[in-house]
């Protein structure tokens, strides 16, 4: 069977979900069924609700809060033909829907589509394309910020490239009704000159880049720039909503002794402990090790302990100090540990019971919040500072998606993006809503350096409680791989390592890593005796 795959590249608010709904209706009209994949059900309830409303009684939803019995019941109903549409994370792809007519991957760029642990390690996009090849189903990959792999394949003609460059607002009559209902004095929209005469659209929100170095030189040591403070004052004064984004949890990201310079680290992972003020404790975000707040340095006994960095807890505290009358909710892994907690926080904000939403990357995922007029990015820099070839792409995607939460309704909106690196190309492109320019530059870099989508990678990781054993095992496999490369006439530079990865020790086990570049890494590795202790990840989401 021939598969039909399309990349739907539509800016935030352009109406991608409506395209999915119409594609599902078309599949159902042909007597076929549909699988709708979303990154995480708990943070995409609006998408789920739209499918359930459009196709009542025909939709089943999979999510992590379901019991094994409920999962089995959904599987049984799908197999019996009692449901036509399954909405869920990557595992929903394996629902027994027959005959299958449509597979949608919403937010196809999202890294959660790659399963890394436990095995099998696979990417839902590749699995969907293979399933479509076998069944003749249509695949739609949708995103405002497509993965560079998908965009490259669309440029090469492997996928149909469908562009939706504008935010569709609606028709004049509907806009006037909404304006009257919500008592909005002025609506920012533009005429759609190449469409129906009554159609209107709204522009993407303007993004103001604030150089935090200039803020410091001006004497502003607050985590809020003067521009962001003013924007929040104005929005909150008008009864509008504000989103503040920072992709770090906690109050301080590391704790240091000012006398001897020691950083408090996790005894099992060697990573700096994060201070959480509300619990007065230090927490490792990798293994969940916890320690009480120290009153002295364990190395030298000094009481001159200093807290550095910031997380969402500190942002929350600072907002409450500056705007004591603002109603605030925080949305991160600490406040939303369950499916119900996610839904409750989002519903509070959607219902207008909160004025300010402080959150991590989960607030970037496809939410439609029409009363949000200001989005403040507290710091755009953390994602840029990781030693990974995808760091610029991830930073661009995250910033563009967060910015897309502003100005989606009648009131318009703006984005304040704070950074110490205002000239970085990912930040400049996100601020200009310039996906094509960013992709062209990043793909040129990938081609020059031999990274995906031009070359494929395999990441091999070995862990052991004994550091010498881990290093020796890594060196032995690296020597074997170099020998195999030489016998095939391939360059030694196609093997990177062995070396400790970014997280060199986790949960008490020392880690060593090898990265292999090859046209078909799986085929190459089949000829090598790789011991069972190695974790092999072909096409890894990250090389950290």
- What tens digit of pLDDT does each residue of 509-530 get? 999 999 999 999 999 998 888 9
Same fold across 204-249+311-446 and 456-538: no
Q: Which of 296, 294, 319 is nearest to 223 (CA)?
A: 319
Asked whether 94 and 111 are in contact (CB, 8 A), the reply is: no
Query: Whole-angstrom Cα distance, residue 189 to residue 186?
Result: 9
- What tens digit of pLDDT does each residue of 129-177 get? 999 999 999 999 999 999 999 999 999 999 999 999 887 755 556 556 6
Give the up-direction half-sphere exposure of residue 478: CA atoms within 13 A in the CB hemisphere.
21
For domain 204-249+311-446, give the CATH number. 3.40.50.300
pLDDT of residue 103: 98
Q: Which two tokens stand for residue 82?
A: 């009692």
What does the CA dihedral 447, 450, 453, 454 come to, rounded to 10 degrees? Answer: 70
4-165: CATH homologous superfamily? Answer: P-loop containing nucleotide triphosphate hydrolases (3.40.50.300)
Q: What three-state secondary structure class fits 351?
A: coil
Asked whether 436 and 500 are in contact (CB, 8 A), the reply is: no
DSSP class per residue in 143-200: ESS--HHHHHHHHTTSSEEEEE-SEEEEEHHHHHHHHHHHT-S----EE-TTS-TTEE
Q: Which two tokens stand for residue 295?
A: 């009153």
Percentage, residues of the chain above pLDDT 70 = 92
DSSP class per residue in 102-126: EEEEETTT-GGGEE-SSSSPEEHHH
Q: What pTM was estimated for this model as a whole?
A: 0.90
Percentage, residues of the chain above pLDDT 90 = 69
- What tens digit of pLDDT does each residue of 478-510 get? 999 999 999 988 888 899 999 999 999 999 999
pLDDT of residue 1: 42
- Pairing mode of beta strands 114-115, 122-123: antiparallel
E strands in 392-444: 414-419
pLDDT of residue 410: 63
Query: Whole-angstrom Cα distance, residue 330 to residue 334?
Result: 9
Q: Which two tokens stand for residue 403?
A: 């910015």
- Annotated domain spans of the chain: 4-165, 170-200, 204-249+311-446, 254-308, 456-538
Q: Find the helix or strand (DSSP H, E) in which 274 lies.
A: strand 274-276
Query: Whole-angstrom Cα distance, residue 209 to residue 204?
Result: 15
**265 secondary structure, DSSP code:** B
| Of 405 and 317, the one with more pLDDT | 317
| Of 193 and 153, the one with more pLDDT | 153
For domain 456-538, give the CATH number. 3.30.70
pLDDT of residue 43: 66
**220 secondary structure, DSSP code:** -
- What tens digit of pLDDT does each residue of 330-389 get? 998 888 888 788 888 988 998 899 999 999 988 887 677 778 999 999 999 988 888 899
């Amino acid at each position: 069977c021939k598969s039909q795959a399309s990349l739907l590249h539509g800016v935030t608010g352009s109406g991608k979900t409506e395209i999915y709904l119409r594609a599902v209706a078309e599949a159902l009209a042909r007597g076929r069924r549909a699988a709708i994949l979303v990154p995480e059900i708990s943070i995409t309830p609006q998408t789920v609700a739209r499918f359930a409303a459009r196709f009542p009684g025909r939709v089943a939803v999979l999510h992590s809060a379901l019991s094994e019995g409920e999962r089995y019941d959904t599987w049984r109903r799908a197999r019996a033909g009692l449901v036509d549409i399954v909405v869920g994370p990557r595992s929903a792809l394996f629902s027994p829907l027959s005959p299958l007519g449509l597979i949608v991957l919403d937010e196809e760029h999202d890294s959660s589509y790659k399963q890394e642990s436990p095995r099998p390690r696979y990417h839902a996009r590749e699995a969907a394309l293979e399933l479509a090849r076998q069944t003749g189903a249509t695949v739609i990959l949708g995103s405002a910020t497509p993965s560079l792999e998908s965009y490259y394949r669309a440029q090469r003609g492997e996928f149909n490239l469908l562009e939706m460059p504008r935010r569709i607002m609606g028709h004049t009559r509907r806009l006037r009704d909404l304006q009257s209902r919500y008592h909005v004095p002025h609506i920012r929209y533009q005429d759609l000159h190449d469409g129906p005469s009554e159609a209107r659209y709204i522009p993407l929100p303007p993004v103001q880049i604030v150089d935090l170095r200039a803020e410091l030189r001006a004497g502003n040591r607050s985590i809020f720039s003067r521009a962001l403070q003013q924007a929040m004052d104005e929005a909150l004064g008008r009864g509008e909503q504000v989103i503040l984004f920072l992709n770090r949890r906690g109050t301080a990201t590391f704790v240091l002794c000012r006398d001897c310079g020691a950083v408090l680290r996790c005894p099992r992972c060697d990573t700096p402990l994060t201070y959480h003020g509300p619990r007065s404790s230090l927490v490792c975000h990798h293994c969940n090790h916890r320690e009480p707040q120290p009153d002295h340095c364990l190395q030298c006994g000094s009481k001159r302990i200093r807290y550095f960095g910031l997380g969402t807890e500190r942002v929350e505290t600072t907002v409450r100090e500056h705007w004591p009358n603002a109603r605030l909710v925080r949305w991160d892994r600490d406040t939303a540990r369950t499916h119900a907690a996610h839904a409750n926080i989002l519903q509070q904000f959607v219902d207008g019971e909160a004025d300010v939403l402080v959150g991590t990357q989960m607030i970037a995922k496809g939410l439609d919040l029409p009363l949000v007029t200001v989005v403040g990015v507290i710091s755009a820099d953390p994602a840029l500072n990781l030693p990974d070839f995808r760091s610029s792409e991830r930073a661009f995607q995250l910033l563009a998606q967060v910015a897309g939460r502003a100005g989606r309704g009648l009131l318009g909106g703006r984005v304040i993006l704070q950074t110490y690196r205002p000239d970085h190309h990912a930040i400049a492109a996100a601020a200009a809503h310039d996906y094509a320019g960013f992709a062209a530059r990043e793909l040129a870099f990938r081609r020059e350096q031999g990274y995906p989508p031009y070359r494929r990678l395999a990441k091999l990781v070995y862990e052991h409680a004994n550091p010498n054993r881990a290093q020796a095992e890594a060196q032995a496999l690296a020597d074997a791989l170099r020998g195999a490369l030489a016998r095939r006439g391939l360059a030694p530079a196609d093997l990177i390592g062995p070396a400790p990865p970014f997280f060199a020790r986790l949960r008490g086990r020392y880690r060593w890593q090898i990265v292999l570049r090859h046209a078909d890494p799986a085929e190459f590795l089949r000829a090598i005796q790789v011991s069972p202790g190695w974790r092999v990840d072909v096409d890894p989401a990250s090389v950290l």
